[in-house]
Structure 1
Amino acid sequence: MPVRTILQLGHPLLRQVAAPVADPTAPEVADIVTDLTDTVAHWRATTGYGRAIAAPQIGVLQRVILLRLPGQPVWPLINPSIIDHSPDTMEVWDACLSFLSIFMRVRRYPWIQVRYQDLQGHWHEAHAGAEDDLAELLQHEMDHLDGILALDRLTDVNSICSRQEFERQFKADSPYGR
């Protein structure tokens, strides 16, 4: 499948709520996952950024996200939802392929419990914590399914910085520096 164009900040589809996937085994869902895989791999190769992507970012309003963590198999999550989370929150750096020139500090849960379906339609639960910054990454991608962007989670407008300034000052101590 082709590398798809990632919708950029301001595109109205990024603010829409994605529909549940009725049949995770449908060929169209596998096609979405392939497109997401190819698209995030392309962005990682060309920009150095991109560990995950949500279907709305390529204009598909379906509840599908894909994680492509270095050294691990591609992980599609269909109809994911957070079923539990830590009582506390933390502040982390965040950015998005839909506005990669902007970085900011956002508030996220340190750990979450996620329920999702795989491409065979089976339900799974997974615990995500600080390992690979998985909790914050999943929260970011699941927000996309509800039309929520990282900018909506901004903790302080003064934390917004350009990609160049982020890389100069903060990247080494962030998940993006690994």
Structure 2
Amino acid sequence: MPVRDILQLGHPLLRAVAEPVADPSAPAIANLVTDLTDTVAHWRDTTGYGRAIAAPQIGELQRVILLRLPGRPVWPLINPSIIAHSPEKLVVWDACLSFLSIFMQVERYEWIRVRYQDQQGQWHEAHAGREDDLAELLQHEIDHLDGILSLDRMVDVKSLCSREEFERQFKANSPYGR
């Protein structure tokens, strides 16, 4: 499948709420997962960024996200939802392939429990915590399905910085430096 364009900040579909997937085993969903896989791999190879992507970022208003973490199999989650979370929150650096030129600090739950379907339609639950910054990453991608961007979660506008300045000052101690 082809590498798809990623919608950029300001595109109205990034603020739309994605529709639930009725049949996770449908060929159209398999094609979407392939497109997401190829697209995030391309961005990772060309920019050094991109651990995950949500279907709305390529203009598909379906509740599908895909994680592509180094050293792990590609992980598509269909109809994901957060069913539990920690009372504690963390402030972390965040960025997005839909506006990769800016970084900001956001508040996220320390851990979450996510319910989702696989491509055969089976339901699963996963616990995500600080390891691999998985909780933060899943919260970011699930937000995309609800039309919420990391800019909406920014803790202080003073944390906003350019990609160049982020890389100079903060990247080494962030998930993006790994």
Q: Normalising TM by the smaller chain, what interval? A: over 0.9
Q: 2:26 maps to which residue?
A: 26
CA distance in 2, matches of 1:111, 1:30: 29
CA distance in 2, matches of 1:172, 1:72: 22
Q: 1:159 maps to which residue?
A: 159
Q: RMSD of the TM alignment (CA)?
A: 0.2
Tell me which amino acid in the other structure corresponds to 2:60. Answer: V
CA distance in 2, matches of 1:17, 1:88: 27
CA distance in 2, matches of 1:83, 1:159: 29
Q: 1:75 maps to which residue?
A: 75
Q: 1:168 maps to which residue?
A: 168
CA distance in 2, matches of 1:2, 1:129: 33
Partner SS, residue 84 of structure 1: strand
CA distance in 2, matches of 1:73, 1:110: 24
Q: 1:129 maps to which residue?
A: 129
Where in structure 2 are the equivalents of 1:143-158 lying within 5 Å?
Answer: 143-158=143-158
Residue deviations 1:92-142 (CA, integer Å, cap 9, x gap): 000000000000000000100000000000000000001100000000000
CA distance in 2, matches of 1:55, 1:122: 20
Q: 1:56 maps to which residue?
A: 56
Residue deviations 1:20-76 (CA, integer Å, cap 9, x gap): 000000000000000000000000000000000000000000000000000000000
Q: 2:2 maps to which residue?
A: 2
Partner SS, residue 7 of structure 2: coil
Tell me which amino acid in the other structure corresponds to 2:64. Answer: V
Q: How many corresponding residue pairs? A: 178
CA distance in 1, matches of 2:90, 2:131: 15
Is residue 100 of structure 2 the alignment partner of residue 89 of structure 1? Answer: no
CA distance in 2, matches of 1:75, 1:36: 11
Q: 2:46 maps to which residue?
A: 46
Tell me which amino acid in the other structure corresponds to 2:14. Answer: L
CA distance in 1, matches of 2:32, 2:138: 18
Q: 2:104 maps to which residue?
A: 104
Report deviation, 1:88: 1.3
Partner SS, residue 79 of structure 1: strand
Partner SS, residue 148 of structure 1: coil
Q: TM-score, normalising length from structure 1?
A: 1.00
Partner SS, residue 124 of structure 1: strand
Tell me which amino acid in the other structure corresponds to 1:8. Answer: Q
CA distance in 1, matches of 2:90, 2:37: 29
CA distance in 1, matches of 2:110, 2:36: 26
Q: TM-score, normalising length from structure 2?
A: 1.00
Partner SS, residue 127 of structure 1: strand
